[in-house]
Amino acid sequence: MTLTADSALVADLHPSPNIDERRRGMKPTLLILHYTGLPTVERSIEVLADPRGKVSCHYVVALDGRITQMVAEDKRGWHAGVSIWRGETDINSASIGIEIQNAGHDAGNPAFPTVQMMAVRDLCLDIIRRNTIAPEGILAHSDVAPARKKDPGERFDWPWLAKAGVGHWLAPEMLGGPGPCLAVGDQGEAVRDMQRLLAAYGYGIEQSGTFDVASELVVIAFQRHFRPARVDGRYDASTAATLERLIAALPAAKPIV
């Protein structure tokens, strides 16, 4: 299997067989950031190249910042799984996936080393320059699959990346402000408004007016990315104000494809 580096930042090539063609007419307009959830980068690359596992990604970033490319950017990697963003359910066709070596929540949710974050920043900027990816299209795996995924998690430094020009970010509202707090079991127009706002930002959420477990998982995903100081699934004043400000800062809506 032939693979040529798309980026001059790539140190190693390790082709994965777990690829196919993007859906006809689709180009990557999303950049999905993951953590591997495995103990070593060697094991992560092994899994991502195993045809039995049916998973892959475009790039892997090791703890020391070394970058391995596994899938060409013009191909469809199998990294997002069952996912949705702004109504699009074929996220693999719409995105490029970066796996960041980190053992994950099951291993105590370790921090991401500075040298690794610098490599992620540089790779993201390089991908953005060569593809039509807007800041708001740079997402966590948990954003597009909130019912299944936590990665890259609340310890991932989204604000640092945003200062470097990677991603959509505003400083979250302070905790403890006045206002209603919605939680699982609540019903009514306030819940429907919450669901409408989360959907307006891009999350896949039913606008039922009932704060169910699925809604709670979406709120948790939003908090992991945009209000990580407290990830509890409760739609408090801080979460609501942060979401409203992010929506106000979005450019005019554009289709994914």
Residue 135 contacts residue 226 (beta carbons within 8 Å): no
Select which of 46, 73, 88, 99 is catalytic: 99
99 is catalytic: yes
Q: Provide, for the chain, the percentages of residues in helix, strand and coil under a 3-state DSSP scheme, each rounded to the nearest 5.
A: 35, 15, 55
69 has which bridge partners?
13, 59
Q: What is the largest CA-CA distance in the chain?
A: 58
C-alpha 120/C-alpha 62 separation (Å) is 10
Strands 75-77 and 19-21 come out as: antiparallel
Query: Where do we find the tokens 């310890």?
Result: 155
Please provide the distance, in angstroms rounded to a whole number, between the alpha carbons at the two ends of the chain: 29
**Which positions are annotated as active-site residues?**
99
